[in-house]
Structure 1
Amino acid sequence: MKILLTISFLLISLSSGLCQQVFKKQTVLMGSVFELVVIAHDSAQAEGYFQPAITEIERIENLISEWRPHTQISQVNQYAGIRPVKVDREVFELTRRAIRYSRLSNGAFDISIAALDHVWVFDGSMDTLPSPTAIEKSIQDVGYQHILLDSLHSTIFLEKKGMKIGFGSIGKGYAADRGRELLQSLGIQGGIVNASGDLSAWGTQPDKQPWKVGVSNPFKAHKIQKVLRIKNGAVATSGNNEKFAEIDGKRYSHIINPKTGWPSAGLASVTVWGPSAEFANFLSTSIMVLGRKEGKKLLERFPGYKAVMVRDR
C-alpha cells in the first residue's frame, strides 16, 4: 500500500464567467481507495465524468489482477512452466515495460517477486520470520529473465513452474495514468486520479492555481514534509509505514528485494514525481530496494523526475 498523499484545493472559483467547482468521489478499486477529482459546473456533470473513469479502472483490474482467477495475468501464472498464454496487447505491452524497468534498475524492480507472496505476509498476521531455507527456495522462482514474451503471437510464458507475476508495484500508477488520459479526452480542464497515493493530475484548479499535493511524513502521519505544486504530472510514494510486518519489535517493509527475498531496508519512504505515475511507481519501488546512494544514481538518469527520500529509523 502506498502512503496516502494529501490533496488540497479551493472549492469554487470563476472561470470565463461561469461558476466551476471541484468535485470529488471516493471508491474502492484494485483493492485500494481511489479518489477522483474533476472540475465541473455541477454535480450531475461531475458524476457523468466519474463513471467512465471508474469503468476504465475496473476494466484494467479485470485484466491484470493476480488475485482474480479469471484475469489474463492469473492465467499466465496458472500456466507457469507449462505453456504460453495469449493476452491482450495492452497486457503484453505493460509486461514488456515492466521487464524494461527491471533492466534499468539492474533487477531491483521485478514483477516476478509475486512468487514470494506466500513467504511474507503483510496483513498483520505474521509474527515469526520465514526460515532462510523458505526464502532461498522461493527466490529460485523469481527472475524477470524467465518471463518470455512473443510479440508476434502476443503471449507471455513464465519459464519456471512456481513462477508468478503481479502488478502491485506499477498497476495503480498505470490505472491513474489511464484514468487521466480518459478524463482529458472528455474535455475536462483539470483534475486528479488518486490511486491511494499514486496519482496523475492535469490542468489547474478553477482559480488557475496548480494542484497542491502534500507529501506525508512517514513517522508523523498528520505532518506534511513537502508540498508539491502539480499542473500536469504525477506523484507516487513507496514506503513501509502502512503495510509491513512487525516481528520482535522490528518493522519489515512489504517491498521485497528480488535478489535476496528479504524486505528492503534503509529507507522509510520514497516519493517520486514527474510526468507518469507508472514510471514514478517504478522509480519509487526501485529506490526503496536500492537504497539512497544507488537510488540517487538511478534517479539521475531520468531528469524529468525528482524524489524525496526519508531514511528509516
Structure 2
Amino acid sequence: MNRECYSFRAMNTDVHVIEEFSWQEGSKEKIKRWFQEVEQTCSRFLPANELAQFNEAEVGTVVKVSPLLFEVIKRAMHYSMITNGYFNPLVGRIMEKIGYDRSFEQMVEIEESYDPVIEQREVAPFQFDDASCMILKQTEEKVDLGGLAKGWAVDRGARIMRQVGVAEGQLNAGGDLTMWGDQETLIGIAHPEKEAVDIAQFYMREGSVATSNKVFRSWRQGAIQRHHLLNGQTGLPANSDIVQATVFAKTTAEAEVIAKVLCIFTFDNALSWMLDHFPHAAALIIHENGQVKVSHTIKHYTKKLMLS
C-alpha cells in the first residue's frame, strides 16, 4: 500500500503524519491548521489567547467559551475526578510559581524558591452547561491543559482523517501517538536519558500510546530540582523512583493522563494502581536504576515487545 509521510511543527513539538494517498488535496494543511487551532486556544504560554482570558476571569463569572476549549477543560476535569486528583489541571498558577511560565526551551534557572500548596475546595471548581458552552468559574486557580490538549488534538486529528476516508494511518505529536488500520508497524520507546536510543520496540496495528519522562523537562529553582510532572494532590513535583512511563490506552488523551499519574507512584505500586482504575490500559515503566516492568495487559496492544 502506498503511504505518504509528512511533518510540521505545532504545539512546541514535531507532528508526524502517515496516511494513505486516498485523502483529497489540501489534507496536509487541514491537519496542520487543526493542531494550530488547538495550540492557539489551549496553550498557557500565549498571554492573550482564549485559555488566558478564561484563567483571568473573576470567580463567580459565567464564561462562554469555544466548543474546543469547553470540551478540553471538561475532559481534563473528568480525568481529575477518576484519578482522585492525581491528575490535576488546576496547577497553572503553581507551574508559573515554580518557574515553568514559558515554553520549556526558553526557561532559565530561578534563584527564588517557592513551596507549592494545593488548597482544599468546598465547591466544584467549574459547572458546565453543555448546551451553551458556558462554564461557571468557581476557583481562582489557573487551568493548565498541557499534554492532555496535545493528546486530545491527536485523537481528534485522527478522527478527521478517518472521517474523510483514511482507512490506515498514524498521527504522532512528540510521542503522543495513535494509529489505525491493518498494517503492523514497528514503534520505538525512547531511552529515558537518551532520546536517540530506543529502550524498547513493539509492533502495533491499532491503538494509542503516550510517554511521560521526568528527566528531559527539569530545571533548578534555588537549591531544588524541579520537573513538570506534578502530584495533583499536593502540587509538588512527583517524588518517585519511576523516571519514565509509556502507556497504551483507548485514546491518546487517556494514555497521556495515565502516563503522568504513573510517574507519581512508586515502581512497586504504579501498575496495580493503573489496573485498578484503567483495567484496559497497559504500561511499561522504568526505574531509576534502569529496571523495566511491563503490565500483563500489554498483550492487548502488541504481540511482540522487545527490550534493548
TM-score if structure 2 supplies the norm length? 0.81
What is the letter of the counterpart of residue 126 of structure 1? E
Task: Indicate the residue corresponding to 2:262 in structure 1.
Answer: 287
**SS of equivalent residue, structure 1 residue 257:** coil
Q: Distance in 2 between matches of 1:291 and 1:195?
A: 27
Task: Indicate the residue corresponding to 2:159 in structure 1.
Answer: 181
1:60 and 2:34 correspond: no
**SS of equivalent residue, structure 1 residue 241:** coil
1:238 and 2:212 correspond: yes
CA displacement, residues 64-93 of structure 1 (integer Å, 9 cap, x when unaligned): 223334543222101042512112334323
Task: Indicate the residue corresponding to 1:96 in structure 2.
Answer: 74
Q: Distance in 2 between matches of 1:60 and 1:144?
A: 29
Cα separation, partners in 2 of 1:220 and 1:108, compared to 1, 3 Å: same
Task: Indicate the residue corresponding to 2:197 in structure 1.
Answer: 223
1:196 and 2:174 correspond: yes
- TM-superposed deviation, 1:158: 3.1
- TM-superposed deviation, 1:276: 0.6
Q: Is the 8 A contact 1:38 1:46 kept in 2?
A: no
Q: Distance in 2 between matches of 1:175 and 1:296?
A: 26
1:131 and 2:109 correspond: no
What is the letter of the counterpart of residue 304 of structure 1? H
Cα separation, partners in 2 of 1:248 and 1:155, compared to 1, 3 Å: closer
1:270 and 2:245 correspond: yes
Q: Distance in 2 between matches of 1:51 and 1:142?
A: 43
Cα separation, partners in 2 of 1:73 and 1:312, compared to 1, 3 Å: same
1:76 and 2:54 correspond: yes
Alignment of 1:105-120 (within 5 A): 105-120=83-98
Q: Distance in 2 between matches of 1:247 and 1:225?
A: 30
Q: Distance in 1 between matches of 2:158 and 2:24?
A: 14
Q: Distance in 2 between matches of 1:129 and 1:121?
A: 9
CA displacement, residues 68-120 of structure 1 (integer Å, 9 cap, x when unaligned): 34543222101042512112334323322221211111110011111212212
User: Which 10-residue stretch deviates more, 93-102 or 46-55?
Assistant: 46-55
* Aligned-residue CA RMSD (Å): 2.7
After TM superposition, what 4+ stretches of structure 1 lie above 6 angstroms from structure 2? 141-144, 247-250
Structure 1: 5+ residue runs without aligned partners? 1-14
User: Which 10-residue stretch deviates more, 112-121 or 216-225?
Assistant: 216-225
Q: Distance in 2 between matches of 1:223 and 1:249?
A: 31
Task: Indicate the residue corresponding to 2:128 in structure 1.
Answer: 149
- TM-superposed deviation, 1:233: 1.0
Q: Is the 8 A contact 1:107 1:259 kept in 2?
A: yes
Cα separation, partners in 2 of 1:46 and 1:28, compared to 1, 3 Å: farther
CA displacement, residues 231-259 of structure 1 (integer Å, 9 cap, x when unaligned): 22111011122211146897532111123
TM-score if structure 1 supplies the norm length? 0.80
Q: Is the 8 A contact 2:175 2:209 kept in 1?
A: yes
Q: Distance in 2 between matches of 1:74 and 1:311?
A: 37
